[in-house]
Amino acid sequence: MNQLFIPKKPISRKLEVGAGVIVSGAVLAAWCLLTYGGVVQSNFLPRPDEVLRAFGVVLADGSLLKHTGVSLTEIYLGFFLSSIIAVPLGLFMGSFRIVAAAVEPLVNFMRYLPVTALIPLLILWIGIGIEEKIAVIFLGTFFQQIVLCADVSGQVSDDLYNVSYTLGANQRQVITRVMLPATLPGVFDTLRVTMGWAWTFLVVAELVAASSGLGYMILQAMRGLHPATIFVGIFTIGFLGLMTDLAFKWAKRMLLPWTATP
> What's the pLDDT tens digit per position in 113-145?
888 888 888 888 888 788 888 999 999 999 999
- Give dist(CA 98, CA 84) in Å, integer: 21
What pLDDT, on the 0 to 100 scale, is given for residue 81? 94
Q: How many CA atoms lie within 13 A of 121 on its CB side?
A: 8
Intra-chain end-to-end CA distance of the chain, in Å: 21
Q: How far is CA 204 from each of CA 71, 133, 195, 243, rounded to the nearest angstrom? A: 12, 9, 14, 21
What pLDDT, on the 0 to 100 scale, is given for residue 222? 86
What pLDDT, on the 0 to 100 scale, is given for residue 260? 62
State whether the Cα torsion 219-221-224-225 is positive or negative.
negative
What pLDDT, on the 0 to 100 scale, is given for residue 1? 54
Domains and CATH numbers, the chain: 58-259 (1.10.3720.10)
- Give dist(CA 40, CA 98) in Å, integer: 59
Q: Which of 116-120, 168-172, 257-261 has the highest mean pLDDT?
A: 116-120
Kindly report, residue by residue over 28-87, the tens digit of the pLDDT.
999 899 888 888 888 888 999 999 999 999 999 888 999 999 999 999 999 999 999 999
What pLDDT, on the 0 to 100 scale, is given for residue 5? 72
Provide the b/e sequence for 161-199 (b: ≥16 CB within 10 Å). Answer: beebeeeebeeeebbeebbeebbbebbbbbbbbbbebbb
- Give dist(CA 170, CA 173) in Å, integer: 5
Q: Is residue 2 very low, low, confident or very high in pLDDT (cuts 50, 70, 90)?
A: low
